[in-house]
Structure 1
Amino acid sequence: MTDRLVVDAMVDRLKAWGTTRIFGYSGDGINTFLGALRRHGNDPEFIQARHEENAAFMAVAHSKYGVGQYGADAAAGTGIGVVISTQGPGAVHLLNGLYDAKLDGVPVVAIVGQQDLSALGSGYQQEIDLPALFKDVAAYCEQVSVPEQVPGILDRAFRTALATSSPCVVIIPHDVQQQPEAPPAGEHAEIATAPVWEAPRVLPTDSALDAAAELLGSAQRIVMLVGQGARNARSEVSGMAERLGAAVVTSLLGKPYVDESAPNCAGVMGHLGTSASAALLGRCDALLIVGSNDPWTEFYPAPGAARAVQIDISAQRPGNRYPVEVALVGDAATTLQALAGRLAPDEERNDAWRTEVRERVAAGRTLAAQRAATGAHPVNPERVVAELSALLPDDAQVALDVGSCVYWYARQLVLPESVPAHLCSTLASMGCGVPYGLAAKLMHPGRPVVVLAGDGGMQMSGVAELITVAARWRHWADPRFVVCVLNNGDLAEVTWEQRETEGDPRYSATQHLPSFDFAGYAELLGLQGIKVTDPEELADAWGRALNAESPVVIDVHTDASVPLLPPFPQGAAKLPAMRAALEQEGQAGARALRLLNEYAAQEEKLFGQ
């Protein structure tokens, strides 16, 4: 008779998969498991968030900030993200973070408590049909019914999460947790498994590589669209761009994986992207997509205007966003190496295109500088991020919340090659910024963290997780944790969407945010708070925060009237609706209309047709 319980076997299996920490919040449905963590000396380490949704965001970010390709994480000792919650409301709260993992393609394992098996089906307190709840979000979801299932279900959850880059869910009823450990004996219907997984080596066929080389070799104006699938192919992307004389643009998720300072790097594509990327995508005759599934289809070349090759590790994705002629299914780095061997170095070919690319990129950087210098009241948010770009330490980690701050990140922040940056991109859920920053800090406690967030995202969940920062920062090797709040009193991204997409004036009842003293709140928590209302104070504020000996909240009062104008030519088509909406606002929209016209004139001068 063993004294070990099912939950002790679970803890051992988690450690076998390289799990170093578990994010979550306690509840009676998982109390037995939490007791096992205590008996195991808090190994893996339990990280208490202020809300299960934030714990799920932390687990996703843990995987994103992990070492290299996700499959290497367990071997590197970091493990993929693991989150735990009780049944009922705790389980429901996990959904937002798990959908972040699903849509951004990130492996996460969720362990969810459940009422006793004997109570299920009776409408018991906090009883929810958990398999039905997680059916859409999870690539694998299974409920443990007997102790012998535990190793196999956990192993399959981790393997599936890694193999599919998806969230997986293990449901463990409370009474099953309390039963004695019973390793499967290998008898009939008792399945013995092992905690092992190896990333496959995926390569395209020779015929596909030959076809891609022929297509690209005959093109004159090539653009490479680089996504997060190129996370381990930075040098191969750079080498291929040089060989082809290509411009490099990125998806939002691909931004951290290229050399943004290179003269052929045009920045992020799409509605929140750069004018240089839009101009070059509109001019190319060939498109090489590397590990991207970017959704901004109106910013791709018009169908038929460019021939396309797509590299992706998943055979499901090529042709998903653009009509490609050649699909190369394989790892980005290895595939680019194989493709490069079939292409002659471009020493003179495409010189005119190379020149155009450099000119467009230079014009884009001029436009970014002009916009950061454009007067606003109190502070132009573009200048806030531009000032950070000049001061960001090479060993920093960046986390983004969702909102207008993402536009300024995409257009103004030039990331050093050593700086990771992550956000909830495809789901685009507000409130992820500080949870992401905490996961980054826990992953690499000796590196500074910078979180960019709006007041909307901070009010949604960021202020709660600052309590977590205050509780933990004294244990960090490097105490620098900077949260910059772009505080404009408005849900600015949605406000500008109302004007652009609907042609409607700003609706104050839905868009106005209550005032909140973020700097003062930080001081109440024992952190440092810096309030900025003058753009000339920005450099000093950033300098103080990035050299502080405790976490800092920079509360920058920014101007919600600064327009979120899409890049031209797509943005030019939106101007009439935006202007009409602002004219309906009367005096309240006068400054926004003036700034919109100023931004449009700058764009027209540098990128007008």
Structure 2
Amino acid sequence: MATVSDFVIQRVKEWGVTRVFGFPGDGAGAFDGALGKAEKEGTGLEYIRPTHEEICGLMATAHAKFTGETGVCIATSSPGAFHLLNGLYDAQMDNQPVVAIVGQQGLNALGTFTMQESNLERVFADVAVYVQTIVSPEQAQAVVDTAFRTARLRLGPAVIVIPHDVQAMKMVEPSPANWVSRSSAVGASTAITPPESEIVKMAGIINAGQKVTFLVGHGATGATAEVLEAARLAGAGIITALRGKQVVPSDVPHHTQQLGLLGSLPSLKQMKHCDTLVLLGTNYPYGQFLPESGQARAVQVDLKPEQMGLRYPTELNVWGDVKATLEALIPHLDAKTDLSWQNGIADEMVSWEKEMAAQAALEYSDGVNPRRVIHELNKRLPPRAIVTADAGTTADWYGHHIRLRDGMLGDMSGRLATMLAAMPYAVAAKFAYPDRTVVCTIGDGAFQMLGMNELITVKKYLSRWSNPQLVIVVVHNDDLGQVSWEMRTEDGNPVWRTAQDVESVDYAGWAELLGFEAVRVRADDEVEAALDRAFAHRGVTLIDAYCSKNVPPLPAHITAEFAKNTALALLKGDPYLLEVAKDSAEALLSEGIERVKGTLHLGQGDGATER
């Protein structure tokens, strides 16, 4: 006799899902039992059980990001369901289709303050694009189908709540009846192409521009060829948002990587001088780095209409899929003959890469230069590698030093920017692409949250991966580094060690305890050998890099406020006054020398950007 749980499992499979990330509990007991039965019969889903429900949510989101499929996570009632929230907010804020299936106490318990019973629909109302409790077998089909269809169409998480007793009810086929919906496991197309009149308007704006810049986000994934062709015709420079890094290969000379605090100077200069801005699949949140109002004509293309025209006063907002829209646009674009803007941008990027290399070569008295670790890591990335970064200073080094070549993938928690996501993202990537090398870059604060636990998950599932190579780089500086720098630069406050200190742990020893390779790096001249060893090992390697906590994550442009607040923080008694002052001075000196060299190299007459 098929139950509601049996039906839900089969329906999830019909939606193209083969792998789910779950953690069991009595509130989902009957559903868990059905999952186990299906696995035994060979008709189930691949069930991955990490060490915490939050990891399940983050893994489901990462799976959606890396594959384009719908991610699925499963948890029990109240406590397990609550733990999913952080991962689901990551999906919501980065526009990813995820479906969460959560247990609930029996129908008669709802609203009676019984053990582990809470109003889950109210709990998930803010995060979910759709949330519904299945209260009868006849309703199950419509709820499951609507959850998947809505998640994919509205690009966000949907939540299905199944009370314990409903999970075990006999499933019935919905029949023609009042109040009974009969639905299909068929998604709605998102390959939306705007009307021809909108395409013509967009082409007219781009064709009229002399200094065109494309700002490309993760929403342009799958449209690499179209972005490059449109940029070629428009003579455009290309900037990628941090999560759009994988869309445009790093060897495209007029691709200046990211913009803003962890971006490049060529990207900033593009924004200061462009006369046309084309935003493609991005909700870039930092408006202070975009052009002055009225400086540039702007067009935005996105599948999220509510997120268009928010950051900059756009002239045209085009509701459409980036790939389909560009395919329709390209025949209307005029090929630019004057490429001085694009060529000047490429020259600027050559100078910037020299500057990044110079920053990576600096030596600090209190530990390894973390920039050197990531810079050298980038040189050794094998073809089709996947790189994850956490939300701390590793995001700065990822933006400044990682260059994703054609075929590589990279991602992180974007708008939510939650700590610890790099590890579940990396493990989810290994499940999605078991033949690829995956690299996780993470700070020690984030690694202590739940990252260390996930080495246990890696140990549990390692044999399933055809290529077991997984490299984990822990930036070990005993400090919540990003927050320490934010305290200084944003609020003019000295570091508060009571809150900021991270207890030093032998991370390499923990990896060795679990049977993995581990390398301790305590000096700059040990970095290259450690990375060579890691990439030579066909297995898991943890690099425990004892890094300086005082390396400044310098933005491309030092604002007066940034400098003033940092000085105030130091004068107020920052515990690392001497180290920060010395290390920041060395970084700024190196930066200044490289920028002067770049000016001399390009010459004062360069017409692409002002120096």
The residue aligned with 1:309 is 299
1:596-607 equivalence runs, <5 A: 596-605=584-593
Q: Secondary structure at the match of 1:462?
A: helix
Q: Secondary structure at the match of 1:445?
A: coil
TM-score (ref. length: structure 2): 0.94
1:456 and 2:484 aligned:
no
The residue aligned with 2:356 is 368
Distance 1:425 1:35, change over 3 A: same
Distance 1:393 1:291, change over 3 A: same
- Kept in 1, the 8 Å contact 2:254–2:343? The answer is no
The residue aligned with 1:399 is 388
The residue aligned with 1:532 is 521
Q: Secondary structure at the match of 1:38?
A: helix
Q: Which amino acid aligns with 2:469?
A: R
The residue aligned with 2:327 is 337
**Alpha-carbon offset, residue 600 of structure 1:** 2.8
- The partner residue of 1:230 within 220, 228, 231 is 220
The residue aligned with 1:77 is none
Cα distance in 1 for residues equivalent to 2:317 and 2:144: 34
- The partner residue of 2:411 within 422, 436, 441 is 422
Cα distance in 1 for residues equivalent to 2:329 and 2:19: 40
- The partner residue of 2:153 within 153, 163, 173 is 163
Cα distance in 1 for residues equivalent to 2:38 and 2:243: 37
Cα distance in 2 for residues equivalent to 1:233 and 1:337: 9
Cα distance in 2 for residues equivalent to 1:249 and 1:31: 49
1:134-213 equivalence runs, <5 A: 134-213=124-203
Worse-matched range after superposition: 579-588 or 495-504: 579-588
- Kept in 1, the 8 Å contact 2:30–2:164? The answer is yes
Q: Which amino acid aligns with 1:54?
A: I
Residues paired across the two proteins, number: 593
Q: Which amino acid aligns with 2:570?
A: L
1:52-201 equivalence runs, <5 A: 52-66=53-67, 70=68, 73=69, 80-201=70-191
**Alpha-carbon offset, residue 343 of structure 1:** 2.0
Distance 1:266 1:123, change over 3 A: same
Q: Which amino acid aligns with 2:502?
A: L
**Alpha-carbon offset, residue 350 of structure 1:** 4.3
**Alpha-carbon offset, residue 282 of structure 1:** 1.2
Cα distance in 2 for residues equivalent to 1:605 and 1:211: 45
**Alpha-carbon offset, residue 105 of structure 1:** 0.3
Cα distance in 1 for residues equivalent to 2:325 and 2:464: 43
Cα distance in 1 for residues equivalent to 2:191 and 2:367: 53
Q: Which amino acid aligns with 2:555?
A: P
Q: Which amino acid aligns with 1:549?
A: R
Cα distance in 2 for residues equivalent to 1:120 and 1:33: 19
1:384 and 2:385 aligned:
no
1:7 and 2:5 aligned:
yes
1:544-555 equivalence runs, <5 A: 544-555=533-544
- Kept in 2, the 8 Å contact 1:450–1:481? The answer is yes
Q: Which amino acid aligns with 1:429?
A: T
1:359 and 2:359 aligned:
no
The CA deviation string for residues 460-497 of structure 1, in whole angstroms up to 9 with x for no partner, is 01001111111111232111111110111101101000
**Alpha-carbon offset, residue 558 of structure 1:** 0.8
The residue aligned with 1:40 is 38
The CA deviation string for residues 117-163 of structure 1, in whole angstroms up to 9 with x for no partner, is 11111100111110100000000000011111111100000000010
The residue aligned with 1:76 is none
- Kept in 2, the 8 Å contact 1:220–1:350? The answer is no
**Alpha-carbon offset, residue 588 of structure 1:** 2.4
Q: Secondary structure at the match of 1:170?
A: strand
Cα distance in 2 for residues equivalent to 1:258 and 1:485: 27
The CA deviation string for residues 235-256 of structure 1, in whole angstroms up to 9 with x for no partner, is 1111122222211111111111
Cα distance in 1 for residues equivalent to 2:490 and 2:264: 19
Q: Which amino acid aligns with 1:55?
A: C
- Kept in 2, the 8 Å contact 1:279–1:360? The answer is no
- Kept in 2, the 8 Å contact 1:16–1:195? The answer is yes
1:467-486 equivalence runs, <5 A: 467-486=456-475
Q: Which amino acid aligns with 2:334?
A: A
Cα distance in 2 for residues equivalent to 1:585 and 1:207: 61
Cα distance in 2 for residues equivalent to 1:218 and 1:606: 35
| Cα RMSD, aligned residues only | 1.5
**Alpha-carbon offset, residue 586 of structure 1:** 6.0
Cα distance in 2 for residues equivalent to 1:587 and 1:321: 38
Cα distance in 2 for residues equivalent to 1:303 and 1:604: 30
1:451-600 equivalence runs, <5 A: 451-568=440-557, 571-585=559-573, 588-600=576-588
Q: Which amino acid aligns with 1:13?
A: R
Cα distance in 1 for residues equivalent to 2:315 and 2:184: 41
Cα distance in 1 for residues equivalent to 2:301 and 2:595: 30
Cα distance in 2 for residues equivalent to 1:325 and 1:12: 47
The residue aligned with 2:433 is 444
Cα distance in 2 for residues equivalent to 1:111 and 1:296: 34
Q: Which amino acid aligns with 1:488?
A: N
The CA deviation string for residues 366-391 of structure 1, in whole angstroms up to 9 with x for no partner, is 11111111112321111111101110
- Kept in 2, the 8 Å contact 1:230–1:333? The answer is yes
- Kept in 1, the 8 Å contact 2:494–2:574? The answer is no
1:323 and 2:321 aligned:
no
The residue aligned with 2:602 is none
Distance 1:485 1:235, change over 3 A: same
Q: Secondary structure at the match of 1:36?
A: helix
- Kept in 1, the 8 Å contact 2:103–2:164? The answer is yes
- The partner residue of 1:31 within 19, 29, 32 is 29
